[in-house]
Amino acid sequence: MYEKITEWTYPAGNAEAVLGRDRILDDISLYWLTNTASSSSRFYWENNNNNFSSAAQRTTEITVPVAITVFPGEIYRAPKSWAQRAYPSLYYFNEVDRGGHFAAWEQPRLFAEEMRAAFRTLRK
């Protein structure tokens, strides 16, 4: 688990500087002590064979508004052209300059700003 945190944190290989050793240990301990590491990785295992394809995920059937923020250290960074084809109800797309697979953990302020920006037009 540590190697994935290190590999998927932006910039790669710098997880302890970005997150801190204690926070990483807290996260790993949470999964270890609750025996939930296997169940938390089930999504990845189930989708391994279809490579998270939009056809297999049936994304074109999603009718609720979709918002995407692309973080530079994410495992897959969807281009806007692909996102528009995959999600016909896409209404917000933005690329930011920092953050990785664990963006909410690594860059909580930026993540919150993106959530606010994504939902701003839906507020009444």
Tens-digit pLDDT profile for residues 101-116? 999 999 999 999 999 9
Name the residue ranges covered by the structural domains of the chain. Answer: 2-120
pLDDT of residue 72: 95
16 burial class (0-12, 13-18, 19+ CB within 10 angstroms)?
middle
pLDDT in tens, 26-85: 999 998 999 998 888 887 777 766 565 667 778 888 899 999 999 999 988 989 999 999
CA dihedral 77, 23, 11, 40 (to 10 degrees): -30
